[in-house]
Amino acid sequence: MPGLMRWRNVVSEEKYREIINNHVTPLLEQLGFKSKKKEWFYAHDDECVKRITCGFSKERGKDAGFVTVTVCVGFKALEMFLSQCPDLSSHVHFEPTQRACTMASNLGHLREPFRFLSWEIAPDSDVQSIAADICSRIETDGLNFFAEYGALERAVAAWRSGIRHNLGNLAVLYLSAYEWLYGSRERAVLELKDAVISADLPSTRHVYTSLLNYLESLSGKPQ
């Protein structure tokens, strides 16, 4: 049975590899991205990590699956600062590394109808057509995502306006970190206090309080 299950996904997975190796990778290399793990692509500058991740989800018991593409911006300074809060890091995972991912989105959520987007691959799928569509969406929606949020100040402005993609309520933490590092430390503490008061869920309130306590402990130390 294990051998049979591997065989059932051979053709679709080979087509997926062909799309990544022969189409997506050359495109992203031309755009300045470097590959890691064959399906993860990164471009770095001083403050932002831009990441594109491709994935293949197999259909159980079939030689078929679905391709997805996710884009992400990561801000190493914010990730590093938040990861230093001991209580907070036990509840929220931060990546203060070259793989930092702060806010991500499936490509389908970047244009109407704003739905999760995937491409089905089966043995009879047209690789050229699927690859062309994936590359087109990366060059338009993916690059637009980086243009809109790939600089820290633009990302902060988006979070303050309510555009947060998968970040959700965690944006409060990143906004506080930004204010502490680059803006007003007093504002960072005051806004976090307001967030604690207005938090709907006890778990959210606890996370906010963890960072608030950390900032207040830093306030008493020489900077």
pLDDT value of residue 166: 96
Q: How far apart are CA 179 and CA 191, in angstroms?
A: 10
pLDDT value of residue 93: 85
Whole-number Cα distances in Å, 164 to 30, 62, 174: 29, 36, 11
For CA atoms 136, 28, 51, 161, give the dihedral sign. negative
Q: How far apart are CA 12 and CA 112, in angstroms?
A: 28
Radius of gyration, CA atoms only, the chain: 20
Token pair 């793990």: residue: 37
Q: What total number of domains does the chain contain?
A: 1
State the DSSP code for 221: S
Whole-number Cα distances in Å, 76 to 37, 46, 60: 21, 9, 38
Structural domain including 145 reads 2-158
Q: Which two three-digit tokens encode residue 111?
A: 């244009």
Query: Do the beta carbons of residue 65 and residue 161 sit within 8 Å?
Result: no
198 is a domain residue: no
137 is a domain residue: yes
124 is a domain residue: yes
220 is a domain residue: no
pLDDT value of residue 1: 42
93 is a domain residue: yes
DSSP element (H, E) containing 57: strand 48-58
pLDDT value of residue 100: 86
> What pTM, to 2 d.p., does this model score?
0.91
Q: How far apart are CA 76 and CA 49, in angstroms?
A: 8
184 is a domain residue: no
Q: How far apart are CA 172 and CA 196, in angstroms?
A: 10
10-residue averages of pLDDT along the chain (223 residues): 51 96 97 90 91 94 95 95 89 80 97 97 96 98 98 97 96 97 96 96 95 92 48
Q: How far apart are CA 176 and CA 188, in angstroms?
A: 5
Q: Which two three-digit tokens encode residue 186?
A: 């007093």
Q: How far apart are CA 90 and CA 149, in angstroms?
A: 27
